[in-house]
Amino acid sequence: MQATAYTYDTGTRSGSVLLDDGTPVPFDAPAFDAGGLRLLRPGQRVRIEVEAAEGAEGAGGVPRITLITLQTF
């Protein structure tokens, strides 16, 4: 799945991305570390891998990002 980097905190290595429909989805340090990145800037196009969030409120809940890498063409 593709998304656009929205926020990134270098101290916690966490942040959020925007899906193509504008939905923000947070990611944590383990997801960032799994991708091997050193830095992420807002606006960068990224590839994410997600798993469904269990027990989340709403229809289907918010997906949990398990990996974030730069999108390459």
pLDDT digits (tens, 9 = 90+) for 5-60: 999 999 999 999 999 999 999 999 999 999 999 999 999 999 999 997 665 554 46
At residue 33, the 3 state secondary structure works out as: helix
- Give the pTM: 0.83
Closest CA to 8 of 22, 21, 31, 20: 31
* Dist CA 67 CA 3 (whole Å): 12
